[in-house]
């Protein structure tokens, strides 16, 4: 009897799909050590992802209309929603392969296309071909960064990103536009070149093999020291002084933290190697004897 009901439900779903011309999403997941086929998608995390993508799309439209303030605020909204969708998926145990791919496509719109077109509308259009070339390089690097992140998902240390994450790169570009626009800085040739340099730097940092701290090991569900709440309050106070300038300053500091840590790690590695190499050189057999023999030979 139950089999007949299941068959009728399947037939009803097949009829509805044929009418709507949309096939239901199916995904193979592992449950209890065996493969299980699940239909449908999780609504809440994908709803947040859609909101982030819409915010990026709105930022493009606002930037084309010259409304750079609202365009930058829209990118900030996209950053918040992008942070929430992953954490909500983990907290509610609603992760899925579909959600991961959809999140990357949303990131490409909100943190790849939107910042590049926003910066192009603001300043880079005055550089002609060089301006849109820099914008394309940024979009391409964002796509490469997201593709590499998807391939390496689950195989790398979650505490670190390999390369600057696309939201952070977007922040570096967008907060620069916001800070200069709010302070009524005139877009001259020098400012356009500065914008191109910042955009190109953000693009390069996304694809280099430099590690950035991801903050993903912070557990929001457990108790934290009281000092953490004080630091959170101070953060909001500092940002409230001058949001564009302070956020741009923080973006620069985070973007620079990767190269600084890479140089420091390489220096530490060289310092650890040098005593061993020195000791090996000093204790190498036959060096003193061979030197003495050479002196004797020259004397003779």
pLDDT given for residue 172 in this prediction: 96
- Radius of gyration of the chain from Cα atoms? 27
- 29: domain CATH number? 1.20.120.1760
User: pLDDT tens digits for 31-82?
Assistant: 666 666 667 777 888 999 999 999 999 999 999 999 999 999 999 999 999 9
Name the residue range of residue 41's domain: 12-225+239-268
Element (H, E) at 39: strand 34-39
pLDDT given for residue 291 in this prediction: 45
pLDDT given for residue 251 in this prediction: 94
User: pLDDT tens digits for 237-251?
Assistant: 988 899 999 999 999
pTM over 0.85: no
State which residues of the chain have pLDDT below 70: 1-38, 154-156, 217-220, 274-300
Q: Would you say residue 231 lies in a domain? A: no
* Alpha-carbon span 205 to 162, nearest angstrom: 10
Q: Would you say residue 279 lies in a domain? A: no
Q: Would you say residue 277 lies in a domain? A: no
CA distances from 212 to 122, 137, 171, 262 (A): 29, 21, 15, 9
Q: Would you say residue 285 lies in a domain? A: no
Q: How many domains does the chain have?
A: 1
Q: Would you say residue 282 lies in a domain? A: no
For 142, residues 6+ apart whose C-beta sits below 8 A from its C-beta are 107, 108, 111, 112, 166, 169, 203, 206
Mean pLDDT of the chain: 82
């Amino acid at each position: 009897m139950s089999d007949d009901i299941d068959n009728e439900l399947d037939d009803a779903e097949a009829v509805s799909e044929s009418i709507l011309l949309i096939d239901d999403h199916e995904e193979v997941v592992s449950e209890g050590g065996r493969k299980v086929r699940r239909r449908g998608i999780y609504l809440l995390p994908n709803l947040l992802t859609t909101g982030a993508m819409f915010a990026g799309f709105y930022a493009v439209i606002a930037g084309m209309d010259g409304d750079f303030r609202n365009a930058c605020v829209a990118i900030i909204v996209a950053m918040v929603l992008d942070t929430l969708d992953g954490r909500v998926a983990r907290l509610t145990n609603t992760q899925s392969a579909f959600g991961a791919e959809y999140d990357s496509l949303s990131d490409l719109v909100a943190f790849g296309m939107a910042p590049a077109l926003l910066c192009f509308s603001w300043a880079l259009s005055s550089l002609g071909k060089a301006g849109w070339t820099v914008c394309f390089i940024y979009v391409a690097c964002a796509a490469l960064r997201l593709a590499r992140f998807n391939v390496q998902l689950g195989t790398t240390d979650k505490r670190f990103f390999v390369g600057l994450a696309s939201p952070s790169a977007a922040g570096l570009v967008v907060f620069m536009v916001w800070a200069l626009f709010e302070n009524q800085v005139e877009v001259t040739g020098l400012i356009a070149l500065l914008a191109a340099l910042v955009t190109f730097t953000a693009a390069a940092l996304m694809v280099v093999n430099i590690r950035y701290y991801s903050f993903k090991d912070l557990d929001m569900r457990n108790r934290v020291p009281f000092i953490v709440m004080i630091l959170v309050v101070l953060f909001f106070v500092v940002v409230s002084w001058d949001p564009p300038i302070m956020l741009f300053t923080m973006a620069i500091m985070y973007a620079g933290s990767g190269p600084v840590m890479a140089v420091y790690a390489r220096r530490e590695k060289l310092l650890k190697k040098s005593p061993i190499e020195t000791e090996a050189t000093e204790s190498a057999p036959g060096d003193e004897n061979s030197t003495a023999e050479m002196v004797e030979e020259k004397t003779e």
